[in-house]
Amino acid sequence: MSRQLSSINQTSTELTTVVKRNKYSSLFATDHRDFLISPTGAQIKIFDLEDKIVGIYFSANWYPQCQSFTKLLTEVYKQIKEKEGKKFEIIFVSSDEDLNAFNNYYESYMPWLAIPFSDLETKKALNKKFDVEGIPCLIILQPDDDTFVLHDGVELIYRYGVEAYPFTNERLDELLNQEKEKHERQTLLKLLTNDDRDFVLAHSASKEVPVSSLVGKTIGLYFSAHWCVPSHKFTPKLISIYKKIKQKLMQQDFNGEQENFEIIYVSTDHNELEFDSSFTEMPWLAIPFGDSTSKDLTKYFDIRGIPTLIILGPDGKTVTKNGRSLINLYEEDAYPFTEARVKILEKQMDEEAKNLRSMELHSGHCHELTLVSQGNGGGPFICCDCDEQGLGWAYQCIDCGYEVHTKCVRPVVQVSSA
């Protein structure tokens, strides 16, 4: 197989065929090549794409996120092909570093077509034409509309999977409306129960807690896993904050209001042993390992990475998808995570920022850091000191983009000379 692909890649630029130009030929063909290659080594005429919806897939073997998305895209591609047959095709545009990497990646993962690896000019032209800034990137073209270019194919596949097909504006509007209606009808029971289960797991002797008993409470859905390194850092912090929120509510003595907050572990662990290892450390509840609801929730909330903390209000509606960031910023004061509460905390942070130095030397970085806010150059970031999410005020290196929470700055101690 590799020898076949290598031969095609090496000889494609030597062909002298004059290509008849149509919509897809103008994108993928050259004066010397009127075909694409398949995983079997076959040459597929570009003219055969004329009536098809085409996805242009920019990817590379060396980038882990590409490998992860390619597996998902392969599943979606096969489902579409089974249902729609010849109406859809994907073309791989490689950013691999050498022919062996291209062949290994293409043969191992991809059932679709590809631009020959040796055709650097076509690959550069496609990257430039579609303004590709990062990979993976999936561009969708429609055969009967020369003006239609859909750039966010990766997001649509993650979000809707095979349901996104045929990727038209009408279909996407339909999906958005369905999603909006679904979220408007969202309740805790609909989210957390299914035909086979109406409970979540607890550590107590009873082991099972009816989901119905959680209705009316503020709920955190904690998406995490034993294998996730960032989770190992964030989970202990979340445990501490969880206990502080419970204690704070108990001290307020509002008729047992401490019971009005709960967290539920939504696992993406590889096996039950990993699940048990994670859940044993957690003081909250969990969806049973292997339950289909975990995957449903991951898709429903469009979870791209973990750990993620989704907050649901007492009415079962989504309060925020940024629970992790709010915990990092405001700790237990973030409760109940509502927009009104966040606005109060943002005002407090703005007041506190008035007392911060505009420039700071941080012992963890070699350059001077500048105080920035979300409104003057800051924004969502990952703190380079504690590796946790941040938002709003931060100290940022203008030279290299290094950024830390204001609370993570460790001032350089000036040593006086004797």
For 293-302, how does the pLDDT look when each residue is reduced to its tens digit (9 = 90+)?
Answer: 999 999 889 8
Question: CATH 3.40.30.10 spans which residues of the chain?
Answer: 12-180, 188-346
- Whole-angstrom Cα Rg for the chain: 26
Helix (H, G, I), strand (E, B) or coil at 244: helix
What are the pLDDT digits (tens) for 41-73? 899 999 989 889 999 999 998 888 898 899 999
What CA–CA distance (Å, rounded) separates 397 from 372? 10
Please report the pLDDT score of residue 307 as a whole number: 94
What CA–CA distance (Å, rounded) separates 326 from 350? 15
Structure tokens at 352: 């506190």
pLDDT at 374 over 70: no
Structure tokens at 100: 């062996």
Is residue 52 a contact partner of residue 88, using CB atoms and an 8 Å limit?
yes
What CA–CA distance (Å, rounded) separates 9 from 119? 8
Q: Which residue has the tokens 């044993």?
A: 280
CA distances from 347 to 188, 195, 353 (A): 32, 45, 10
The fold of 188-346 is: Glutaredoxin (3.40.30)
Going by the DSSP 8-state scheme, the letter that residue 392 receives in this structure is: S
Domain 12-180 has CATH 3.40.50.720: no
Q: Which of 54-58, 156-160, 404-408 has the highest mean pLDDT?
A: 54-58
Give Cα 375 to chain centroid, integer Å.
25
